[in-house]
Structure 1
Amino acid sequence: MKFLIDNWYLVLAALVSGGLLLRGALQGGGAGQVNTNEAVRLVNREKGLLIDVCEPAEYAAGHASGARNIPLGTLEASKDLPSNKTLPLVLVCQSGARASRAAGILRKAGHANVQVLAGGMKAWREANLPIEKA
């Protein structure tokens, strides 16, 4: 007991870090995100679709090779989404924030295998993966 009292700051640090880890697990922190290698594997081996949810001007400036542009604002009404809702969908935007919102929309619409590219186009570029310009 004396150890706990003398080292209260260590106990506090352990409790705070444990609480943060638990909060992340309960909120699904990072769930549904894939790195660039896993994204390429999903597209190449599991016939997944790479969907860029950026605005058309951002898409035209540079996008992942083979990505289909469906802007976030038009996602719910889009006819460009696959009818097979079990097909893997890998969502990408500039940073990953819009793609995360898009993932929630698609999951609510019944798409079972929706992933977000962690780090967005920045991660794609850093991995030296092919980029196209429209």
Structure 2
Amino acid sequence: MLQFVINNWYLFVALAVILFLLATGPISQQMYGIRNANAAQAIQLLNRENGVVVDVCEPKEFSAGHVPNAINLPLSSLKDQLRNLEKHKNKPIIVSCRSGNRSLKAAVILRKHGFATVYNLAGGLQAWERDNLPLEK
């Protein structure tokens, strides 16, 4: 076994890198206290707790369809536009994107900048659509 590892060290390095990349998202989510919210939970946050949806898609994607009343702040310029969210700092923020990957990165940024309660829309807009919920265009 040891000889196999020595002869194929590069495969084990690649495996370690892949495992690290896969673990980075959930670890940062746990570390910053970001919770996942499915579509039904997001609706409850919006209706009962006056939550706000922040869509981090690029404007072209956003115009193709988004959660109703969502605020579009693309991930690429989120840090520069945080002042647009200051009035919502103490409300639940539900961050969404197309699949849920970019929204997790954005949720970490929001938590780092003092937003109290941040949720990642689990499955993103694809899950929202799959549940036959309305889109705004």
Q: Identify whether the pair has TM-score above 0.5, normalized to the shorter chain.
A: yes
Matches within 5 A, 1:13-52: 27=27, 28=30, 32-52=35-55
Deviation at 1:74, TM superposition (A): 1.6
What is the alpha-carbon root mean square deviation over aligned residues? Answer: 2.2
Deviation at 1:122, TM superposition (A): 0.6
User: Does structure 1 residue 89 correspond to structure 2 residue 98?
Assistant: no
CA gap of 1:31–1:80, structure 2 versus 1, over 3 A, is closer
Deviation at 1:66, TM superposition (A): 1.3
Q: Tell me which of 66, 75, 86 is aligned to 1:72.
A: 75
What do the CA deviations read for 1:29-62 (whole angstroms, capped 9, x no partner)? 9951111011011011101101100000000111
What do the CA deviations read for 1:66-117 (whole angstroms, capped 9, x no partner)? 1111111121121321334221000000000000000000000000100000
Q: Whose Rg is larger?
A: 1
Q: Which runs of 5+ in 1 are unaligned?
A: 1-22
Q: TM-score, normalised by structure 1?
A: 0.75
Higher helix share: 2
Q: Which runs of 5+ in 2 are unaligned?
A: 1-22
> 4+ runs of 1 displaced by more than 4 Å?
none
The one-letter code matched in structure 1 to 2:96 is V
Counting matched residue pairs gives 110
User: Does structure 1 residue 100 correspond to structure 2 residue 74?
Assistant: no
